[in-house]
Amino acid sequence: GENVEQHPSTLSVQEGDSAVIKCTYSDSASNYFPWYKQELGKRPQLIIDIRSNVGEKKDQRIAVTLNKTAKHFSLHITETQPEDSAVYFCAASSGSGGSNYKLTFGKGTLLTVNP
């Protein structure tokens, strides 16, 4: 099955700095890579995603890059703010078609943005 590795497990940055979180995946058939943000005590929520036919996607201060050859993808947050502090999860979607898709998640990165 799919295996997703995520690094680092914790990341501390100063407000205004950039943060980068990296993930690798094992299944070359995976074709969808979402990122979720989970604030303390809350549910995970999608912040950005990328499909396998795209190399980069941006949404304001966040961007995701995908390297299919190397099987890795990264989340970039620029101009970090204290409200960006949360746990971030990467995931990869694999399945045999139709509705039979499931996400495999990385173990998460605790991002702390210091004022």
Partner 1 sequence: NAGVTQTPKFQVLKTGQSMTLQCAQDMNHNSMYWYRQDPGMGLRLIYYSASEGTTDKGEVPNGYNVSRLNKREFSLRLESAAPSQTSVYFCASRAGSAYNEQFFGPGTRLTVL
Query: Cβ-count burial of 1 within 10 angstroms (0-12 exposed, 13-18 middle, 19+ buried)?
Result: exposed
Q: Which is nearer to partner 1, 77 or 92 (CB)?
A: 92
Q: Which is nearer to partner 1, 12 or 81 (CB)?
A: 12
What residue ranges bind partner 1 (CB under 8 A)?
A: 1, 6, 9, 31-32, 34, 42-46, 49, 51, 89, 93, 95, 98-108
- SS3 of residue 84 by DSSP: helix
Q: Which is nearer to partner 1, 56 or 79 (CB)?
A: 56
Helix or strand holding residue 1 (H, E): none
